[in-house]
A and B are shown apart, each in its own frame.
Chain A
Amino acid sequence: GAVVSQHPSWVICKSGTSVKIECRSLDFQATTMFWYRQFPKQSLMLMATSNEGSKATYEQGVEKDKFLINHASLTLSTLTVTSAHPEDSSFYICSARDLADTQYFGPGTRLTVL
């Protein structure tokens, strides 16, 4: 089956630093990947759509300069949280879309900003 990985699985950083999260589709190519964040006991909130070879599309209210997305290849998208603050602490999940338009999710990255 389709497998999506994320790295790291958890990260703790100091306020003001930047953190990069990687999302990889391991056994299929994904021209489109998605980045979500999830707060405790809530559903997934779409942050942005990552398109291979072009700029990401951000959802309303998501700061593109704070959440930098790069989709460098058909199997890799990265999310960089710049100048992280405690309110950015959350569970970040990526997904990758296959040719049948089905999204497969990564295992998530727990970000804690001190």
Chain B
Amino acid sequence: GQQLNQSPQSMFIQEGEDVSMNCTSSSIFNTWLWYKQDPGEGPVLLIALYKAGELTSNGRLTAQFGITRKDSFLNISASIPSDVGIYFCAGLRETSGSRLTFGEGTQLTVNP
């Protein structure tokens, strides 16, 4: 079941604005992943984080693995219309093998 609390559930922003979303959990995770899903498509990996405190960028995207290993955030800078989609966080716990736990997703709408 879902053990990751992802917020916000949805965001409506203007093109050019920065966006921030996060995931928290009561459990410790060893890996945090951020995916983007477009309608009718599978999730596409954006950023993978493997160490507590790690800060990683991928173009306009920046994500961090929280020091407590119980949270992660994703920032998108200078948003553009093609950023529209659903963003999911996902985590791997030591006790779950390779089974991912997913957040409930953040629906992002960018108004041109």
Q: Taking beta carbons and an 8 Å cutoff, which residues of A are in contact with B?
A: 4, 6, 32, 34, 42-44, 46, 49, 91, 93, 95, 97, 100-108, 110
Contacts and interface: CB of A to CB of B under 8 A. Distances in A.
B43 interface: yes
Contacts of B98: 32, 34, 49, 97, 101, 103
Nearest to B43: A105
Contacts of B43: 44, 93, 105
Contacts of A49: 97-99
A31 to B, nearest CB: 10
Nearest to A32: B98
A13 B26 CA distance: 42
Contacts of B92: 101
Interface size class, chain B: 20 to 34
Contacts of A4: 42
B110 interface: no
4 smallest CB-CB distances across A and B, nearest first, come from: A105-B42, A108-B42, A105-B43, A43-B102
Nearest to A4: B42
A103 B43 CA distance: 10
6 contacts: A34-B100, A44-B43, A91-B40, A93-B42, A103-B33, A105-B42
Given A43-B2, A43-B88, A110-B40, A104 B102 contact: no
Contacts of A105: 35, 42-45
A49 B92 CA distance: 14
Given A49-B99, A101-B31, A44 B88 contact: yes
A106 B42 contact: yes
Nearest to B41: A107
Nearest to B31: A101
Contacts of A104: 45
A46 B99 contact: yes
B27 to A, nearest CB: 16
A43 B86 CA distance: 10
B71 interface: no
